[in-house]
């Protein structure tokens, strides 16, 4: 999927992003998160939440053939992990259409966010992942993350362990630049 465009969320992208979020949860978290909670997820409700985020600088979508194939949300500060004073930015959500995983979409979204953080002189990024989400853990490690934190997250009425993957923004950006120079 070479022809992926990364851009900010628009009104026309809301439904596609909501479908990816809900369908992604139902497939990725089957057997991990309580079925009752997964069954309660609604594309329409998610779309209403995403409509409020149109125009936000920190909500991007991956587009292929004029369709949303993935999306990402990120935070330029440490508002969700304030007890971790060494973290100065967060990748708070990254989703790829469940049928398109493994095609480089997640990597393009991740790299885009990493470059944005680097351009803002951010140093340490965190990304939280459910401890039982093995496929995502493999991807986050592949992208250069190291598990350094854990916490409890309440989803529905149950608690789940989340792992905090920490990334050195500048180091990863330098490695990607060196790798690209080597291709010339």
Phi (first) and psi of residue 33, to 5 degrees = -100, 145
pLDDT value for 127: 95
pLDDT value for 174: 87
Does residue 179 surpass a pLDDT of 70?
Answer: no
Whether 166 and 129 have beta carbons less than 8 Å apart is answered as no
Q: For domain 5-181, which architecture applies?
A: 3-Layer(aba) Sandwich (3.40)
pLDDT tens-digit map of 69-85: 999 999 998 776 667 88
Report the SS3 class of residue 71: strand
- The domain locations on the chain are 5-181
Q: Indicate whether this model's pTM tops 0.85.
A: yes
Does residue 115 surpass a pLDDT of 80?
Answer: yes
Report the SS3 class of residue 87: coil
Report the SS3 class of residue 35: helix
pLDDT value for 85: 86
């Amino acid at each position: 999927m070479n022809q992926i465009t990364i851009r900010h969320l628009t009104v026309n992208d809301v439904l596609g992003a909501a479908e990816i979020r809900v369908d992604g949860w139902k497939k990725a978290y089957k057997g991990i998160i309580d079925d009752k909670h997964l069954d309660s997820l609604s594309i329409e409700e998610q779309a209403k939440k995403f409509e409020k985020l149109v125009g936000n600088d920190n909500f991007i979508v991956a587009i292929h053939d004029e369709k949303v194939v993935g999306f990402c949300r990120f935070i330029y500060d440490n508002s969700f992990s304030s007890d971790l004073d060494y973290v100065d930015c967060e990748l708070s959500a990254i989703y790829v259409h469940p049928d398109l995983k493994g095609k480089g979409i997640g990597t393009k979204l991740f790299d885009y966010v990493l470059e944005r953080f680097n351009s803002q002189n951010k140093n340490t990024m965190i990304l939280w992942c459910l401890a039982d989400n093995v496929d995502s853990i493999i991807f986050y490690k592949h992208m250069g993350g190291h598990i350094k934190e854990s916490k409890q997250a309440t989803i529905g009425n149950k608690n789940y362990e989340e792992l905090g993957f920490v990334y050195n923004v500048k180091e990863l950006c330098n490695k990607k630049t060196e790798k690209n120079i080597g291709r010339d």
